[in-house]
Amino acid sequence: QVKLVESGGGLVQPGGSLKLSCAASGFPVDYTNIGWFRQAPGKEREGVACIGRGTEDITHYRESVKGRSTISRDKAKNTVYLQIDNLKTEDTAVYYCATGHFCAPAILSATYTYWGQGTQVTVSS
């Protein structure tokens, strides 16, 4: 049974950092593409970052987090991480991880299948 559980969200001040975790079970995390998405109140869900399956660790990021975000994978822990630095108020959202058919520059939620329950990130002073 495929299961994804996100954790690591919380309240952080602007300029701070968070490292979100996506613990997977039911499949090896390097056998599929994994994406991080977020949804703010009243807005559509948007792709944040993805990491491709296999050994090449291909990654893609949405423009607004490039340079201050890192997606990574720990096969031993079967977990995918999303580190975001220099957090901004506009990063406030519920963050989700999901398994997908593609990891491409356009990180489209429609191409992702299994989803976790989400973790809240609030950036506020």
Query: Residue length, the chain?
Result: 125
Which pLDDT does position 122 carry in this prediction? 98
Which pLDDT does position 59 carry in this prediction? 96
pLDDT band at 6 (very low <50, low <70, confident <90, very high): very high
Which pLDDT does position 83 carry in this prediction? 98
**pLDDT tens sequence across 15-57:** 999 999 999 999 999 999 999 999 999 999 999 999 999 877 8
Which pLDDT does position 57 carry in this prediction? 81
Which pLDDT does position 70 carry in this prediction? 98
Which pLDDT does position 55 carry in this prediction? 76
58's tokens: 């291909």
What H or E segment, with its residue span, contains residue 101?
A: none
Which pLDDT does position 54 carry in this prediction? 85
**pLDDT tens sequence across 66-114:** 999 999 999 999 999 999 999 999 999 999 999 998 899 999 999 999 9
Q: What contacts 118, CB < 8 A, 6 or more positions away?
A: 6, 39, 94, 95, 96
